[in-house]
Amino acid sequence: MLATIIHAPRDIRVETVPDPVLSTGDDAIVRVVAACVCGSDLWPYRGITPTREPHRIGHEFVGVVEQVGAKVGRIAVGDFVIAPFYVCDNTCLNCRNGVSTSCLHGGWWGVDDRKGAFADGGQGEKVRVPLADGTLVPVPGGVADAQVPGLLTLSDVMGTGHHAAIAAGVRPGDSVAVVGDGAVGLCAIIAAKRLGATTIIAMSRHPQRQELAREFGATHIVAERGDVGVTAVHELTRGIGADRVLECVGTKQSMDQAIRSTRPGAMVGYVGVPNGGPELPVRPLFDRNVGVNGGVAPVRGYIEELLPDVLSGAIEPGRVFDLELPLRDAADAYAAMDERRAVKVLLRP
């Protein structure tokens, strides 16, 4: 079978690898229907995080179950399933506390832990899924081809945008500013609207993304950054700042923008993977009672909640995909996202 391997920065290859085989009894083999490239895949692609040796990559996929281990009970052969961007048992203390990304028995796709347990990456023709009963969510009924992109966003970006909104505590009537107009930021706009925010400010400098942001529910666009951007947000929020700010980038600049766009007593929900920092400046938070909450989004726990709205078309997060390529062109997909020619690329095996 084919799978995507990262060898080094900017060296993405689609190669023939052995087909996965069941090994633990609680696992399943999934034939991938669609996968995609994540903004966080660009960190190793750009060399910002190291690639010590070639390994499989990709952590977002949907597909059809081909085999299940003897101990699997909730997932069956033939199910169309959504895989979150990590493996979890969905039963441990942390999973029950809503933090399945900290599952006591889970792990990450594409990460070789030297036991091979979680070594499969999602950008391949098939994936062995450990802890299949906990990790996978079956989609009831048949899945039309047009529904695939929306379902695929539940692997990561839609759940991650939703997590930013949940972590920030978005409530009906809130004013919400969203920092970042990538796929997660755009999904955060969907989430904020879905949770009842009535003023939604998208901070975006790209005309096409601004357009999609408006269609997703943004009521205002702020293209400026820095002091001018902060002032613009305050002017749109009765002069005091936004009730909730969703930080969907992960740089020092974006977190600074987020914190300064808040009103006193606000909460920043952040899901941008912090890129070598940033440290949070405590004094501006303390003086104005601004909280910071979020992290690596426990999207597994959100799939069931968001799935009906995706299936019904009430929300259309699949529109964040603006390029679709065959799996064998994965290297082009990375390049397109790296060069910002695409917001997010869907790969079809």
Contacts with its own copies by CB under 8 A lie at: 93-94, 97-99, 101-102, 167, 238-240, 243, 255, 263-265, 267, 270, 273-274, 277-283, 285-296, 298
CB of residue 53 vs its own copies: minimum separation in angstroms? 23
The smaller minimum CB distance to its own copies, of residues 151 and 167, is found at: 167
Alpha-carbon dihedral 64, 65, 67, 69, rounded to 10 degrees: 160
How many other CB atoms are found less than 10 A from the CB of residue 115?
Answer: 8
Kind and range of the H or E run holding 332 = helix 330-338
| Nearer CB in complex with its own copies: 69/161 | 161
CB of 273 to its own copies, least distance (A): 7
Minimum CB distance to its own copies, residue 97 (Å): 5
Pick between residue 265 and residue 313 the one whose CB is nearest to its own copies: 265
Question: Please, what is the minimum distance in Å from the beta carbon of residue 267 to its own copies?
Answer: 7
Q: Which residues pair with 199 in a beta bridge?
A: 175
Given a contact cutoff of 8 angstroms between Cβ atoms, the answer to whether 187 and 201 are in contact is: no
Cβ neighbors of 34 (< 8 A, separation 6 or more) are 61, 62, 63, 148, 149, 152, 346, 347, 348, 349
Phi, psi of 88 (to 5 degrees): -150, 155
Could you tell me the two tokens for 223?
């293209």
Q: How many CA atoms lie within 13 A of 153 on its CB side?
A: 34
CB of residue 96 vs its own copies: minimum separation in angstroms?
10
Who's near 312: CB < 8 A, 6+ residues apart? none
CB of 187 to its own copies, least distance (A): 18
Question: For its own copies, which is the closer residue by CB, 124 or 298?
Answer: 298
Q: Are 83 and 126 in contact (CB under 8 A)?
A: no
Q: CA 270, CA 260: separation in Å to the nearest integer? A: 14
For its own copies, the closer of residues 146 and 282 by Cβ is 282
Minimum distance of its own copies from residue 233's CB (angstroms): 15
| Comparison of 225 and 288: residue with beta carbon closer to its own copies | 288
| 209 versus 263: smaller Cβ distance to its own copies | 263
**SS3 for 11?**
strand
Q: How far is the CB of 14 from its own copies (least distance, A)?
A: 30
Pairing between strand 242-247 and 262-270?
parallel
Q: Which is nearer to its own copies, 9 or 278 (CB)?
A: 278
